[in-house]
Amino acid sequence: MAETTYTEDNIRSLDWKEHIRMRPGMYIGKLGDGTSQDDGIYILIKEVLDNSIDEFVMNAGKTIEISVRNTNVIVRDFGRGIPLGKVVDVVSKMNTGGKYDSKAFKKSVGLNGVGTKAVNALSSNFRVQSIRDGKTVFAEFEKGELITKGEPESSSQRKGTRVSFTPDPSIFANYKFRNEYVIKMIKNYVYLNTGLTIIFNGEKYFSENGLKDLLEENMNSDDMAYPVIHLKGDDIEVAMTHSKTQYSEEYHSFVNGQHTTQGGTHQVAFREALVKTVREFFGKSFEASDVRKSIVSGISIKVMEPVFESQTKTKLGSTEMGGGLPTVRTFINDFVKTQLDNYLHKNPETADQIQRKILQAERERKELSGVRKLARERAKKANLHNKKLRDCRVHLGDLKKDNRLDTTLFITEGDSASGSITKSRNVNTQAVFSLKGKPLNSYGMSKKVVYENEEFNLLQAALNIEEGLDDLRYNNIVIATDADVDGMHIRLLLITFFLQFFPEVIREGHLFILETPLFRVRNKKETIYCYSDEERRNAIAKLSGKPEITRFKGLGEISPNEFVHFIGENIRLDPVMLDKEMPIEKMLEFYMGKNTPDRQKFIIENLKVELDVVEE
């Protein structure tokens, strides 16, 4: 084997924008195409918005305007404005920013001086404008490269900062913004910053009651075991209730206004403090899992110079509050112990409801203990020889767990379909779970069925969601079934399973439907895959002559060589989203209950017929 040379010529230094563009995942997590709420294009919006939020926190600007039109984003705040002589530097020089000065930004989200630089480098067009002291300056960039810098000019506009950008399509392939995800992000910001108004595409969002509003927005009042407990103090806010129908724990945690979707030290501390306080109040050694079962809560804290476990700031690593305060754990424990204990003494009806929920959880746990043990043993035994789960290398120990954001589990039915996906998948991050026939209709059943039903038990074990989403093994759970009546029925049964027992999987944006082409239109020079009848007609018009037209009736008919195109970079996913106007219980009752006439009428009135006709 020839010896590989290694000299000074092999050593290369990348400038800031080259490094960001070459390794975007280090700065914004996974790229994605906008299908998932944690895709990179939403992180770009968040990074710009964080700066405007920090202005509000410093009492400079109570309104932020956001516009998302097609691929262009505009964020305008009315804060102090970037110092005019530093407009270029703060968006193009690493480790540059006002947040290193703790006097200016005491409890800021963005402390590493990277955020807007990443947005700049990853945008095909980026423009920043600052207005202050009766003057304005702007600068325009392309892929991080300065194109134009304006000289200071007089301006009568309100002071503040305006940033516009377009994510670079060469990095974010075929991306599309989903307003639902942007709105969810915006709502979280206003819940955490009472007094702030955010105007998104002309619609106003604001909150008067903080985390209390968040819980009431995400839950139906009929599902609350008792009214939301809302506790506020210096640098901390807590809201909590218990769900009547939900099995698992649900937490909305935040640090300095940042949604820590993966929790962290503050969430761990709150869970511990809650159990300790409840035990002491009732004078009983309840099991921790019984106390927390079905809890829905929000916790927000403010920390001096927080340390997050990644650039995307989804998990708090700090153990210290800073500013002379005790540790995060002690601070939260002292607050919850004092405030929650006081609340329960003043509200005996709520205390009684909490105790009832705990005792109910205790009974259910004891009833399930035997079947749960057997189910776990069965799952472990099955996994040794079981061909249902073909795992990916992230979970087989070959790759770092840090790749979890990129992991996907395809749930499919039938040997041929699962075989095609298995052969064409990315073995590093994509896994396949094969169903055997149609799953059970779990509507109205207790969680006992999850352990007694082999399919559900093994699926639960594969996802690792028995105790909640903290250790969810796959970020994306994709239902991959045929686009026919049977396939639609399987989709509905699987969605029912998640809604019935693990609604947080859907609520937190982890469940998707795989879209696969219905037609293949090709001639000798070109092949076009079509996902609708309209696309088929357009493809026929585009290809000259009489192209060959194939109608795919099932996933198993698509060869692995073709399937790789549909689950790779060009994968099309349709997120399963909850309609906040219809509670889960009523939704399940309508679609899966015994109201056949009502459902039949609904289907007839909303049926969209797509003719399966091949044009000659």
Residue 424 CB neighbour total at 10 angstroms:
19
Residue with the larger pLDDT of the pair 367 and 76: 76
Write down the H helix ranges in 176-302.
Answer: 179-192, 211-218, 265-282, 288-292
CA distance 189 to 205: 9
- Whether 100 shows a pLDDT value over 80: the answer reads no
311 pLDDT tier (thresholds 50, 70, 90): low
Grouping H, G, I as helix, E, B as strand and the rest as coil, residue 340 is: helix
Considering the domain delimited by 16-205, tell me its CATH architecture. Answer: 2-Layer Sandwich (3.30)
What does the pLDDT average to over 156-164? Answer: 96
- Whether 595 shows a pLDDT value over 80: the answer reads no
What does the pLDDT average to over 64-92? Answer: 95
**CA distances (Å), 154 to each of 79, 90, 134, 348, in order?**
18, 22, 6, 63
DSSP H/E element including 346: helix 328-346
| Polymer length of the chain | 616
Query: Range with the lowest mean pLDDT among 163-177, 205-219, 532-546?
Result: 532-546
Q: Assign domain 211-362 to a CATH class.
A: alpha beta
Across 230-234, 371-375, 528-532, the highest mean pLDDT is recorded for 230-234
- Whether 89 shows a pLDDT value over 70: the answer reads yes
Residue with the larger pLDDT of the pair 124 and 380: 124
In CATH terms, 386-516+552-606 corresponds, of 3.40.50.670, 3.50.50.60, 3.20.20.70, 1.10.10.10, to 3.40.50.670
Q: Residue 317: what residue type?
A: G
Instruction: Spell out the domain ranges in the chain.
Output: 16-205, 211-362, 386-516+552-606
614 pLDDT tier (thresholds 50, 70, 90): very low
pTM: 0.83
CA distance 569 to 406: 12
CA distance 27 to 427: 24
What does the pLDDT average to over 24-40? Answer: 88
* pLDDT score recorded for residue 11: 45
- Whether 98 shows a pLDDT value over 80: the answer reads no
Q: Which pLDDT tens digit goes with each residue over 484-521?
A: 888 888 998 999 999 889 988 998 889 999 998 889 99
CA distance 326 to 598: 58
Q: Do domains 16-205 and 386-516+552-606 have the same CATH topology?
A: no
- Whether 234 shows a pLDDT value over 50: the answer reads yes
- Whether 378 shows a pLDDT value over 70: the answer reads yes
